[in-house]
Structure 1
Amino acid sequence: MATNLKNLSDYDPTQVPSAEKMKFGIVVSEWNPVITAALMQGARDTLIKEGAKPENIIVAHVPGSFELTHGARQFIKKTDVDAVICLGCVVKGDTPHFDFVCQGVTQGITHLNVKYGKPVIFGVLTTDNQQQAIDRAGGKHGNKGDEAAITAIKMVSLNIELKEK
């Protein structure tokens, strides 16, 4: 659904399992730092609001969105997190660089999900301009970080639920 039809921060709290016993990694791109810091704060605040303990939220930074995949893989391989949230922002420019970065990070995150069976959440803004990014990082369309956190909680819950069957 298009973001202009849905606020990224809106969700039904009755449909979100408790995150009290869950552990999360958040890997954040340093590129577009005002935007990615807002995404990270949204994700962290939402995880805590839904019961995650602050000590069970580990944050790591990588230079850009392209490096999110490597950061997520390191979380999977070297920590005991239940899910990894990838947060970044790629703003379209005048060259095809935007397309290469967006395609690479999308395929990389998809590959990690398939290979490791651990939720790796795509919280990357891919916008035409800076204003669209601002609008989706706590602005008029909510915060993509909030949405990514809820997605992480729900996917960890799904893994737990299916493991119990």
Structure 2
Amino acid sequence: MSQFTPQSALPKLEDVRIAIAVAEWNGHITSALRDGAVSLLKSNGLKDEDIAVVSVPGAVELTFAASKLIETGNFDAVIIIGCVIKGDTPHFDYVCQSVTQGMTSLNADCDIPVIFGVLTVNEEQQALDRAGGALGNKGTEAAETALKMVALNRAVDEL
């Protein structure tokens, strides 16, 4: 597998506020994803007060948290971070479908982007590889995507 390589430079933005909703379930993984996202945002000029992080129990609750964060009108983008590891029951499928449909609905209905930073993996090692391991940090990639989508949103608003 190849590691994600951004195709374009990150935009230089001013007055940006990003919210991150993080699932507590599989916290050893989601905290690494969160830390990667926060680190990338700070290295691109955001300050602590420009980044709001909220926790929810699990991945299904990410849609509600993102919706509430959007309703505040205080943010330019919302990143949702979670980790769902496949088990022996269909629970994995229901959780993944729920969070994916919820995020898709928010993106279709709201004026700011919601970025999908939820790992959906077959086993824990695959998640660890994507949370700062051999395959990088998908939280960092989610933060890169958030900045690019904020820039896109602002550019479209000016058309």
- How many pairs align? 159
Q: Please, which runs of 5 or more residues in structure 2 have no aligned partner?
A: none
Q: Would you say 1:122 and 2:116 are equivalent positions?
A: yes
SS of equivalent residue, structure 2 residue 46: coil
TM-score, normalised via structure 2 length = 0.96
- Cα distance in 2 between the residues matched to 1:106 and 1:50: 28
Aligned to 1:60: 54
Aligned to 1:43: 37
* Percent of matched pairs sharing the same residue: 52
- Cα distance in 2 between the residues matched to 1:65 and 1:74: 15
- Cα distance in 1 between the residues matched to 2:151 and 2:47: 16
- Residue 164 of structure 1 and its aligned partner are, at CA, apart by 1.3
SS of equivalent residue, structure 1 residue 5: coil
Tell me: CA distance 1:33–1:19, structure 2 relative to 1, closer, same or farther (3 Å).
Answer: farther
Structure 1 runs of 4+ off > 4 angstroms?
Answer: none
Taking the TM superposition and a 5 Å limit, the aligned residue runs for 1:25-44 are 25-44=19-38
Q: Please, which runs of 5 or more residues in structure 1 have no aligned partner?
A: none
Aligned to 1:78: 72
SS of equivalent residue, structure 1 residue 68: helix
TM-score, normalised via structure 1 length = 0.93
Q: 1:16 aligns with which of 6, 10, 22?
A: 10
- Cα distance in 1 between the residues matched to 2:119 and 2:19: 18
SS of equivalent residue, structure 2 residue 64: helix
1:37-85: CA deviation from partner (whole Å, max 9, x where unpaired) = 0000000000111111221000000000010000000100124100000
- Residue 30 of structure 1 and its aligned partner are, at CA, apart by 0.2
Match for 1:128: what amino acid? N
